[in-house]
Structure 1
Amino acid sequence: MGITTIAFGQGHSLMGEVESERTGEKLPGANIKIKGTSLGTVTDNSGAFFFDNLSEGDYVLVVSYLGFETQEVEVEIADDGTEEVEVELEDNFLEMEGIMVQGVRQGQARALNEQREALNIKNVIDAELISTFPDPNVGESLKRIPGINIQSDQGEARYIQIRGTSPNLSNISINGEKIAAPEGDGRSIALDMIPSDVLASIEVSKAITPDMDGDAIGGTVNLETKSAVTKDRVLNLTLNGGYHNNVSDLSPVGGRASLNYGQRLGEEGKFGYMIGANYNKFSLGSDNNEMAYDEGTLEEMELRDYELTRERFGTTANFDYQFNRKSQLYLNTSFNYFADQEYRRLLGLATDEAVREFKDRLEKQKIFSTSLGGEHGLSNGFRVDYSASYSYSDQHTPEDREIIYAQAYEDAAGEDLEFVGFDRSNVDYPQFSLTPDAPSGAGIYNYGTYEFDEFVDGAELTKDRHVTARLNLSKEIAWSDNFSGIFKVGGLGRFKSKDRALTEDVYGYNGDTTYEGLISDFRDDDYLSGHYANGVGLFPGTDSMRDLFENNSADFERDEQESTEASNAEDYDATEDTYAGYVMTDLQWGNLGTILGVRYEHLRTEYEGNTVEYDQNEELVQPIPTVSDINTFDFILPMVHLKYNVRDNANLRLAWTNTYAKPNYFDLVPYSIISRPDEEIELGNPGLEPARSMNLDLMAEYYFSSIGVISAGVFYKNIQDFIYTANFEYDDAPYSGYEATQPINGDEADLAGFEVALQRQLTFLPGFASGFGIYANYTYTWSDAQLTTEGETARSVSLPGQAADVANVALSYQKYGFSGRISLNYSGEFVEEIRENSADDRYYDKHTQIDISLSQQVTPGIRIFADMVNLTNEPLRYYNGTPTRPEQQEFYSFQVKGGVKLSL
């Protein structure tokens, strides 16, 4: 243990740093209290702390940090002086456990300290804990947190749901700044494009504070990227490769590399930088069958075989200059790139048709964000911080090509002939066969009878940009030794623009190349584990489809009407301007901490879309008119947080907050798609009200000094004006009586639940057993939403995305440089899409996944690891009303990864 006290400068201030005596690593989130008073603070990300406006005299600092021995430090503040203190805490990690295990434990300690000291309810996971799970992206890491469920795409976690709320009801930010969403329809961020290697920590705030963005009914996820905290050089390199068991035509082996490099420079370490880069390329695949029903009767089914190559590239570059412990400037930047090359072979069957579609699609997404700001301690306890940030994202599909061939027949009367029959003896794998009425030559795998239907050549570019400027001013206040705190005011302006441009050219074909002349030799001999003897069959290849279209352009004729409709129906331009201000107090009265405050937000939106209409003669009405709409919304969001320290390391928390959520982008577009012959109309709804929620949270938690936490809490949300897609009879001329589809506001919804969590290293066990640890949590959620269906019938439903049960259980062992973990993630079923009646609602089925992660420290700078993912081949599964009517099943098989991490 070492303490150094240096007197310099003017004023009555106290500043210092807290670090580990063993490693010299700075300890962010350490609790600093002035003994005998209510004055206290926590260290920042660089392990520094600061007290201002202190009287001269003698003080005793009580410094505590989970996993370390609490220390009392005597400090004397002289007249007109500023005291600086450096505190080294002694950890209680066992020497024999190994360097890597100490790092993991220290990382867990950092996260739990931050979680313990926060005045609001949140969960924090550190980079070291993230690294012990086989999670390649942020979405996979988030599913380990209590109360979080995920939605997957091709076996990788993509969207998150916090406490039973849909993904668009939560906020995603990087280094505290909201990031632009690349996708065109919704506000959700696809988290499978952000790798976990670049992160220092993940924070999930389930009860927000007035100085945070208010559009967060579910909560806010903040991704903190790595920054330099010491003068010691950091150089970490990770290399790994892996094998995917369900890829046959593409390479099943992929790889990943990541690098982090940085340090603080100068004698006093005032300038710091941390630069990170990562690259990942992997092929994966899935076997899929999909079914469609009419009042419980199977009418259509599809067999789909997917092969994909996914490529990710990301960089972070964080710089800061610390003038002193009270003042700094910073520049944070991040860039993430995601490319998804998809090949899809689809066999579609209806009673009167067999269709074969081959799709070749490349989709790219980018997210760039940068933030320039500063924090400065002023005189008399004032503090100011400010930032200007820019975020840009886009989703670019430069090529989306699809060729379709079909087999269909007519009877003697010219009516469609039903020649395919279905057998649902096995509800998960319905079988199909030709009916006795099938004509000679018909056959699902008789490729010579398929005729050209259409060729589609599409492209899309969606852009999202926003600029944010924010300013906060705070003042330390102290009425007595036992009653002190901070008064804070601030605001922001955010200016967003978003647009989508879609091009889709639909062609007919007059040439003589047959389906048989295009097919490749691709064959999936184990499609859906042999449940379909011939699988999806044979399909064209990428080269043959490309050659046919590009080298025989004279044989293709563009369908002007279909192409014009498809290229205009989903285009839009939008701007959203947000102005926000807040006032709040952060008070400490003995063992009681409080946040009292209110936030005001003003939102102005302007959306522009198109009206696409077919007249009675099935002719497209041209020119296509453009429609725009402007709306404004105001939100007053009062909030109260209470935190009571029942005893050392034990907290009781209560929060009352008010939040809102903006509708999805495309829901607000004033578009219309009208078919007079079919008497159908699809509408956007620029008049949608944002959903508003009143939230109550109660949480009790106890932190183990040996690193761990046990917690339990209940929560309740009353959501007004929740949004769903309705089907109804349109009653405005000239389309009265048309069957309409439109997103609308429901009445209100109630959501309630409880969560329990346990995280602990079992170091109290003797000998070998002291290396075991447990990580477990369970969340139960219930909801009831009132809406009106077609015919004005009142109906009660669960909120889309609300799973009743979500659980994680992981058993770990960390000792002698070894770390091993077997983890189980479970989520119950939930409504994914509300339809006209409960019997037809679309459900996301329950999901259980088992993963294993192993690593061994070979030398102080070398660690080898192996990960095994989805060992039980758990599918993605949707069903129609009841589990015996599956609508989609997608199997991914397992993945195995292995590699080395170097710390130089």
Structure 2
Amino acid sequence: MKHVYKVLTVILFYTSLCNGMFAEQGADFKANGTVKGRITDSSKQTLPGATVIVESIHTGVTSDANGYYTLSNLRPGIYDVKVSYVGYTPKVIKIKVINGKTLEENITLDEGATLHEINITGAFSGQRRALQQQKSKMGIVNVVPADQVGKFPDSNIGDALKRISGVNVQYDQGEARYGQVRGTSADYTSVTIDGDRLPSASGDTRNIQLDLIPADMIQTIELNKVVTSDMDGDAIGGEINLITKSTPSHRVLNATVGSGYNWISDKPQLNLGLTYGNRFFKNKLGIMLAASYQYAPGGSDNTEFTYVNDGKNNIILNKAEVRQYYVTRERQSYSAAFDYKFNPANKIWFKAIYNKRNDWENRYRITYKKLDSSDKKQSVVLQTKGGDNGDDKNARLERQQTYDFNLGGEHELSALAINWGVSYSRASEDKPNERYFGISLKSPFSSSFQDVSGRQPYSNIKIPDIEGNNWTIDELTNSNRHIYENEWKGKLDFTLPIGNGGEYGKLKFGGKFASKVKDRDTKNYEYKDVIGDEWKNHLTTEVRNGFMPGNQYPIGTDFVSKKYLGSIDFNKLTGTEVLEDAAGNYHANENIKSGYVRYDRQLGKKSDLIIGFRVENTNLKYSGFNLIADNDGNQSITATGSLKNHYTNLLPSVLYKYNVDDNCKLRASFTKTLARPKYTDLIPNVNYNVQDATAEIGNEKLRPTTCNNFDLSSEYYFKSVGLVSVGVFYKDLHNVIVTEKWVGSAKELPSNIGSADYVIEKPNNAYDGGIFGTELAYERDFGFITPALKCIGFYGTYTYTHSTTRNYNFEHRVVANGEKIKMQGTPEHTANASIYFEKSGVNIRLSYNTASSFIDEMGTEAALDRYYDHVNYLDLNASFTFGKKFKTTIYADATNLLNQPLRYYQGTKERTMQVEYYGARINCGIKINL
């Protein structure tokens, strides 16, 4: 905290200096001047990425994501300034620069003749803004504006990301949760809000879950595949920057009402949205408020299988599960943005966003256990997962929340521009009263299983009735879990143009401090030995008819009812704490100090160069718990104590762009980036389960993964709306972190628990690696064939990646001679395609996404490695927009038309490890823009 106070003190000093001493600079203070303003079109829509050139000195800038531009350090005089934007008629205006003054010059562009020839609403309008931003950037950037997201059936940010080249997403309950960029693990891509990384509500990853944020709450999604030195360096795959809704240039009022349907839940959904923005006090104060609400009952049909080596090099079935999920997902999101302009040279702003996702889940699971053991050890367990009845749902509640509050300012001190910001972010996950009730029966099933090592193994023996058989309580637990991560950040940036108007370049430098605290606290109690047989009077049938993995599974099986489970008053019972869960608790503190310098320079009329250097110093302090068993099998936990670690990373960067002409761009870059270990991997704890013979061991000695990134790309932008691009990249990674698994013992485990045949997991800097890839993108309407086809267009991308590994440093995994280990999280092929029709307010779009399989997790041997299977998604959406004063859009969409399941396989494609079906979903509604 003391570091944040120091930064805040400096910021307040500069704010006072700017608004006081330099608010009205004296006439005798001879200095160069500044011109700044906002660029919009005739409908008052902002134009991000517009090119602003001072023609006489051949230098200029581009407008930012909100349409603002700044020309600094101009000598007094009269200049011709040319403003251009794809699809608009270029405009040349004369400006008069005065000593030491900041001139505000807002500019309006008119649509050009080329764009008047086609329907420029809808898809064309949003996409041309995205293309202009990509075109003006120095690095390789993909941009998805909010109105373009609305043309796809995407409910959250993750779903919208899968439309971008080089991006693959992984799903949970039918929605995209994590994004993988350019063949790298999701842990290697940072997710930021307005340039600042968001903390994670999850206990085992640094990344925020993308399904937490509704797509309609974001103004623009920027995927920066190449980062510059003024950006955080923890972005090996890239940076997904979510730009929140900013204050508008005019009054904005939008409303959305919609509903939907899912066949698993057989219940309707609800979607609501509202946005309001305006400017007041002679445009000095700007306000933008937004809210979104989604209520979506759903669920999934699931089967899972675990295979092991029997010690004779035979892979055999160890466990099989049938799972029925019923999940109700509720999302709420609220945002606010304010800015106040004291004068053209000084502005402050404040942004805030709050996201909450409630998942109420009931899961009914049939588990066939120890199928690789003798008949006497085999059993079947029927488990109900639920929660208390406090909200009348009797379902397990997982509540994830994020807050982000950001205060900042922009000031011009003669030629020197100062930007500052302080922010507070918080992410949390709560699971109150998560309950499991399992009943078991000793019974052999191994000989009854069919299609073993195939797509859908199943037992052809009916599960014995509960009445008349010796079913006993296998587990009854009630747990409370709380995870949170708090983060304070402060930053200070300076920009100094060199020469008249920056004709010799621009120097940018600054620093940032971030302080993070993360805690996990779980308390779980077991009650199976203190409850009677009342549960036998509260049974219910839950595996539904139409179970999508197949009707060969035991439809109609009885489970303890969720209502009975929710009604149990555990305050009247005496439980035993489950120490295996308590041993997973931890406290972590991380402080990151960084500084950078960046030099931008135009080299003649066609070339641009950025040279940068960044230093990041990371200090860690963390503590956890070890689980200990004595000679009698009694368990206890002991604190690990507080351990420290620190490291410094030097991150150079060079970016070059060659403008063949206004429509053709060539780019090349070298950057160095990193990925820090997960908090849970660093905690030096030992967590084991005697009953299941499994153990998880932390590794406080982990080093961050670093990467040298090389990129080449070329793009050609069509004169209407569209582009064709090709790029190649190579990522040279060092100290890649892999969770290694083996069967045996470990020095960290106590010798008295019979640890010779435990399945052990431990993270390790396992190898170095390389990823080579190429990206292709094509986007264009068909008007170039014949004018009659200008209302039809195509959008498509393809990415190929190939990974290699070397310099193995496994503790136990033996790499066979000639064995080729692939990087985790690297699909070889990803592609998406969309064909659309848009005319007279009608918009129809058919979208297809595909990605090949990839290794997701290493097993104890190659035959047991886990793979995420290939996917194919097909979505359809349509809308009709009418009205001028009150623009109204009626929309409908259908997603997952191919009923693509989430599927993992083990070792070979045919050996299913998990398959989960969600079914198709439909949504419809109305949007009104006043």
Q: TM-score of the superposition, structure 1-length normalised?
A: 0.91
Q: Can you give the 5+ residue segments of structure 2 that lack an aligned partner in the other structure?
A: 1-25, 309-313, 372-377, 387-395
Match for residue 478 of structure 1? 499
Match for residue 626 of structure 1? 640
Match for residue 685 of structure 1? 699
- 2:905 aligned with 1:879: yes
Q: Which aligned pairs between 1:723-762 and structure 2 lie closer than 5 A?
A: 723-727=737-741, 732=747, 740-762=760-782
1:308-360 CA-partner distances (Å, limit 9, x unpaired): 00000010000001234433100010000000001101111144211100101
Match for residue 242 of structure 1? 260
- 2:227 aligned with 1:188: no
Match for residue 62 of structure 2? 42
TM superposition shift of 1:629: 1.1
- 2:61 aligned with 1:25: no
Match for residue 489 of structure 2? 468
Alignment check: 8 A CA contact 1:319 1:332 kept: yes
Match for residue 698 of structure 1? 712
- 2:255 aligned with 1:255: no
Match for residue 637 of structure 1? 651
Alignment check: 8 A CA contact 2:765 2:809 kept: no
- 2:408 aligned with 1:393: no
Alignment check: 8 A CA contact 2:627 2:637 kept: no
3-state DSSP of counterpart to 1:520: strand
Q: Which aligned pairs between 1:440-839 and structure 2 lie closer than 5 A?
A: 443-445=463-465, 448-449=468-469, 450-478=471-499, 483-509=503-529, 511-513=531-533, 516-522=536-542, 524-528=544-548, 530-532=550-552, 534-535=554-555, 537-547=557-567, 549-550=568-569, 558=575, 560=576, 563-590=577-604, 591-620=606-635, 622=636, 624-673=638-687, 682-727=696-741, 732=747, 740-786=760-806, 787-789=808-810, 791=812, 793-794=814-815, 796-839=820-863
1:31 to 1:285, Cα distance in 2 relative to 1, 3 A? same
Alignment check: 8 A CA contact 1:331 1:372 kept: yes
1:504 to 1:362, Cα distance in 2 relative to 1, 3 A? same
Distance (whole Å) between structure 2 residues aligned to residue 329 and residue 85 of structure 1:
19
Match for residue 437 of structure 1? none
Alignment check: 8 A CA contact 2:39 2:68 kept: no
1:685 to 1:195, Cα distance in 2 relative to 1, 3 A? same
1:644 to 1:460, Cα distance in 2 relative to 1, 3 A? same
- 2:459 aligned with 1:432: yes
1:58-105 CA-partner distances (Å, limit 9, x unpaired): 53322211121223334455778766544332214766977xx52543
Amino acid at match of 2:624: G
Distance (whole Å) between structure 1 residues aligned to residue 717 and residue 769 of structure 2:
34
- 2:90 aligned with 1:90: no
1:136 to 1:676, Cα distance in 2 relative to 1, 3 A? closer
- My pick for the range that moved more, 730-739 or 393-402, is 730-739
TM superposition shift of 1:44: 3.1
Distance (whole Å) between structure 2 residues aligned to residue 853 and residue 85 of structure 1:
41
Amino acid at match of 2:459: F
Alignment check: 8 A CA contact 2:156 2:214 kept: yes
1:509 to 1:770, Cα distance in 2 relative to 1, 3 A? same
Alignment check: 8 A CA contact 1:627 1:670 kept: no
Alignment check: 8 A CA contact 1:618 1:677 kept: no
Q: Which aligned pairs between 1:292-331 and structure 2 lie closer than 5 A?
A: 292-294=306-308, 295-331=314-350
Q: Can you give the 5+ residue segments of structure 1 that lack an aligned partner in the other structure?
A: 1-7, 410-416, 435-441
1:791 to 1:157, Cα distance in 2 relative to 1, 3 A? closer
- My pick for the range that moved more, 696-705 or 10-19, is 10-19
TM superposition shift of 1:142: 0.8
Match for residue 55 of structure 1? 75
Alignment check: 8 A CA contact 1:45 1:229 kept: no
Amino acid at match of 2:642: S
Match for residue 372 of structure 1? 407
Match for residue 13 of structure 2? none
Alignment check: 8 A CA contact 1:161 1:218 kept: yes
Alignment check: 8 A CA contact 1:831 1:843 kept: yes
Match for residue 153 of structure 1? 172
Amino acid at match of 1:508: K
- My pick for the range that moved more, 843-852 or 725-734, is 725-734
Distance (whole Å) between structure 2 residues aligned to residue 656 and residue 540 of structure 1:
59
TM superposition shift of 1:218: 1.1
Distance (whole Å) between structure 1 residues aligned to residue 837 and residue 217 of structure 2:
25
TM superposition shift of 1:771: 0.8
Choose the corresponding residue for 2:147, options 128, 143, 149: 128
Q: TM-score of the superposition, structure 2-length normalised?
A: 0.89
3-state DSSP of counterpart to 1:793: coil
1:523 to 1:582, Cα distance in 2 relative to 1, 3 A? closer
Alignment check: 8 A CA contact 1:303 1:536 kept: no
Alignment check: 8 A CA contact 2:40 2:109 kept: yes
Amino acid at match of 2:498: I
1:811 to 1:612, Cα distance in 2 relative to 1, 3 A? same
TM superposition shift of 1:185: 1.1
1:261-299 CA-partner distances (Å, limit 9, x unpaired): 0111122x1210100011111101111111112243223
Distance (whole Å) between structure 2 residues aligned to residue 81 and residue 572 of structure 1:
55
1:368-398 CA-partner distances (Å, limit 9, x unpaired): 001101011111x211101010001100001
Alignment check: 8 A CA contact 2:677 2:702 kept: yes
Distance (whole Å) between structure 1 residues aligned to residue 105 and residue 560 of structure 2:
72
Distance (whole Å) between structure 1 residues aligned to residue 699 and residue 122 of structure 2:
52
Amino acid at match of 2:586: Y
Distance (whole Å) between structure 2 residues aligned to residue 875 and residue 771 of structure 1:
34
1:50 to 1:343, Cα distance in 2 relative to 1, 3 A? same
Distance (whole Å) between structure 2 residues aligned to residue 323 and residue 645 of structure 1:
38
- My pick for the range that moved more, 646-655 or 384-393, is 646-655
Distance (whole Å) between structure 2 residues aligned to residue 676 and residue 520 of structure 1:
32
TM superposition shift of 1:514: 6.0
Alignment check: 8 A CA contact 2:364 2:383 kept: yes
Amino acid at match of 2:845: R
Distance (whole Å) between structure 1 residues aligned to residue 748 and residue 137 of structure 2:
56
3-state DSSP of counterpart to 1:843: strand
Q: Which aligned pairs between 1:885-896 and structure 2 lie closer than 5 A?
A: 885-896=911-922
1:144-193 CA-partner distances (Å, limit 9, x unpaired): 11111111001100011111111111111111121111111111210101
Distance (whole Å) between structure 2 residues aligned to residue 511 and residue 722 of structure 1:
48
Amino acid at match of 1:261: Y
3-state DSSP of counterpart to 2:647: strand
Match for residue 363 of structure 2? 344
Distance (whole Å) between structure 1 residues aligned to residue 101 and residue 206 of structure 2:
51
3-state DSSP of counterpart to 2:75: coil
1:426-466 CA-partner distances (Å, limit 9, x unpaired): 922223134xxxxxxx8445554232212011110001001
- My pick for the range that moved more, 682-691 or 517-526, is 517-526
- My pick for the range that moved more, 757-766 or 466-475, is 757-766
Distance (whole Å) between structure 1 residues aligned to residue 562 and residue 925 of structure 2:
33
TM superposition shift of 1:513: 2.4
